[in-house]
Amino acid sequence: MKKILLLSGTARAGTSSLVNILNLHNHILMGQDRYFYPFQNNTIRAGDFEKDRFLDVREGDTHPQGGLKPRNVEPARRYDNAVYIGDKFAPLFRHLGHVFEQFPDAQHIYILRNPLSVVESYDARFRDPEDNWNLDWRAGLKAWNDSVRTVAALTEERLARFLFVQYEEIFASPKALNALFTRLGLSNLEEERLAPFTTRFRNLSEQSVARREDLRVAVAREADWDSYRILSRHMPNIGISQ
């Protein structure tokens, strides 16, 4: 029987990148917002993850960038070999009541990124004239607060269904990525397969970002640091060294 794997956090927190990494494992088949609109509209059902339906991406399932990506070669065979079948939907925190009802035994991965980086990413996309992103940094801060506050308030029974990962750590080394596969009960991948992702992360981390003091002050004052600390306590002590 397939296990359901759901990945969330908030927008601009690395969920798409983590899907690409999870799909390197031949025992995982993840969608990239495969069911964006059913999650958004609270119409997602357990049957949507059965083979025939999951592999049949229909109009109304997702946005133009979503679905099952070319990385998933021979999806029917991948489905048959998979231990986990799943999807990522970053703002899942807004729909947890419905999701818990429909998928009480699902395994969740929640990726936590520091709020300043999230709102800076919102701001950069919002200011890019060639990007159709229409949410400014204040929307990003609100989404981040709502996400961490909602998840931190879950009962311990609910939290036991979540594997928490830190954005700043998970992409920093093959060791951290393989630790996640271990936590899922799966074998590790060769470091050579993971290295391109960690190299890209380091390159992005080294890029300079225009410093906005108003944004930094707002994050310092308004971010829900108490909820952030609660979720941080659920992070495994992996370290980011190679």
The CATH number that applies at residue 89 is 3.40.50
Which among 163, 171, 187 has a CA at the least distance from the CA of 25?
187
**Could you tell me if residue 237 is inside a domain?**
no
pLDDT value of position 238: 57
**Could you tell me if residue 197 is inside a domain?**
yes
∠ CA 163-168-172, nearest 5°, is 95
pLDDT value of position 75: 85
pLDDT value of position 74: 81
**Could you tell me if residue 91 is inside a domain?**
yes
Catalogue the long-range contacts made by 36-42 (C-beta closer than 8 Å, 24 or more residues apart).
36/61, 36/62, 36/63, 36/66, 36/89, 37/61, 37/62, 37/63, 39/87, 39/89, 39/92, 39/95, 39/99, 40/89, 40/95, 42/95, 42/98
**Could you tell me if residue 241 is inside a domain?**
no
Residue 69's domain comprises 3-232
Report how many domains make up the chain: 1
**Could you tell me if residue 239 is inside a domain?**
no
The rounded distance, in Å, linking the Cα atoms of 90 and 111 is: 9
**Could you tell me if residue 165 is inside a domain?**
yes
**Could you tell me if residue 238 is inside a domain?**
no
pLDDT value of position 59: 95
pLDDT in tens, the chain (242 residues): 899 999 999 999 999 999 999 999 999 999 999 999 999 999 999 999 999 999 999 999 999 999 997 554 688 999 999 999 999 999 999 999 999 999 999 999 999 999 999 999 999 999 999 999 999 999 999 999 999 999 999 999 999 999 999 999 999 999 999 999 999 999 999 999 999 999 888 887 777 677 889 999 999 999 999 999 999 999 887 554 44
pLDDT value of position 70: 56
